[in-house]
Chain A
Amino acid sequence: GAGVSQSPSNKVTEKGKDVELRCDPISGHTALYWYRQSLGQGLEFLIYFQGNSAPDKSGLPSDRFSAERTGGSVSTLTIQRTQQEDSAVYLCASSTGLAGEQYFGPGTRLTVT
């Protein structure tokens, strides 16, 4: 389909390892967003991209988190030296412009053991 896709759908990793989460937005969507949803919690806004640029990185929980977007399309969220508190579902969304409807991917469920 033409929706937002994320990979992997599930990731189990050992504490201290690095993980990379991928998001493929809808073609032509210039804005891309990353959120974290912990069990029983709302959505925590992590970062957004307008094109390849991320104007505000203050939502990232720590310096172990980084994100990039290339070619105005695919984005990767990297978590270094994972900790158990990083366990959550990481959701990606894209939109045609800021403040419009966001189309969400199915998420990546990350479990850090």
Chain B
Amino acid sequence: GEDVEQSLFLSVREGDSSVINCTYTDSSSTYLYWYKQEPGAGLQLLTYIFSNMDMKQDQRLTVLLNKKDKHLSLRIADTQTGDSAIYFCAESTTSGTYKYIFGTGTRLKVLA
């Protein structure tokens, strides 16, 4: 079945760039998303990209999509301690059977 995979942990120093990676299996994905979950809170959408795009930039966030390799990444420039959270990638498609699948999440820890 469809699967979305992420590494579990990432640790970076404040001010450095963070790159969180995600791989997915379903080539029919329509949208790919990055969500952020802070401790004790629900998920919040950070950004999303259409599957026909290669890159999207939004302030400190850059999303890269390699559709051939089914690889999605989120780059956070100038990482701050407030960026410490769990980051989930997700894919959705409405072609045929609807689905919306989340990855296992990457816990980002920013060291001061």
Contacts and interface: CB of A to CB of B under 8 A. Distances in A.
A binds B: yes
Given A91-B42, A101-B45, A41 B97 contact: no
B100 A33 contact: yes
Contact of B41 (A33, A98, A101, A106): A106
Given A42-B88, A42-B103, A99-B31, A104 B43 contact: yes
A56 B98 CA distance: 9
Residue among B33, B43, B92 having the largest count of chain A Cβ atoms under 10 Å: B43
Interface residues of A: mostly helix, strand, loop or mixed? loop
Contacts of B48: 101
Interface size on B, as a range, is 20 to 34
Interface string B81-112: 00000001000111001111111110000000
B44 interface: yes
A48 interface: yes
A104 B30 CA distance: 21
Contacts of A48: 98, 100
Contacts of A93: 42-43
A104 B103 CA distance: 16
Given A91-B42, A102-B45, A105-B42, A45 B102 contact: yes
A55 B102 CA distance: 19
Given A101-B45, A104-B44, A106-B42, A56 B102 contact: no
A25 interface: no
B104 A41 contact: yes
B105 to A, nearest CB: 5
Nearest to B43: A104
Contacts of B99: 45
A45 to B, nearest CB: 6
A102 B37 CA distance: 13
Interface of B: 30-31, 33, 35, 40-45, 48, 88, 92-94, 97-105
